[in-house]
Amino acid sequence: MAAQNSVQLNDEELEHVRALTREVDAKLRQIHEITLGHVRGEKGKYRPKQARFVFDNIRVVIEDEAGCGVYEDPPGICRPCRPGE
């Protein structure tokens, strides 16, 4: 594989990508609140540290200071993380 160099986005592309990431951030924070609220049985008081998103059979793995939870669809469930997730 050839060495990859960094590419600076032009102003228009950069602003577009930054806007997209703000939208994604906001949506993942909502998924964090819903998922870990159900997994823990309480409203979240922690900020998400990390989120991993798996496409197709959707799986969103959310971690915060207190642990880990998963939103999975199908079947449309919130559950605690399994070892290795």
Give residue limits of the domains in the chain.
11-80
Indicate left, alpha or beta for 11 from its phi (over 0: left) and psi (-120 to 50: alpha). Answer: alpha
The whole-number pLDDT of residue 1 equals 54
- Max intra-chain CA distance, the chain: 49
The whole-number pLDDT of residue 11 equals 96
The helix (H) or strand (E) run that includes residue 58 is: strand 58-64
pLDDT digits (tens, 9 = 90+) for 13-68: 999 999 999 999 999 999 999 999 999 988 878 899 999 999 999 999 999 999 99
Which two tokens mark 74?
């199908």
Q: How far is CA 44 from CA 10, 11, 52, 59, in A?
A: 38, 37, 18, 20
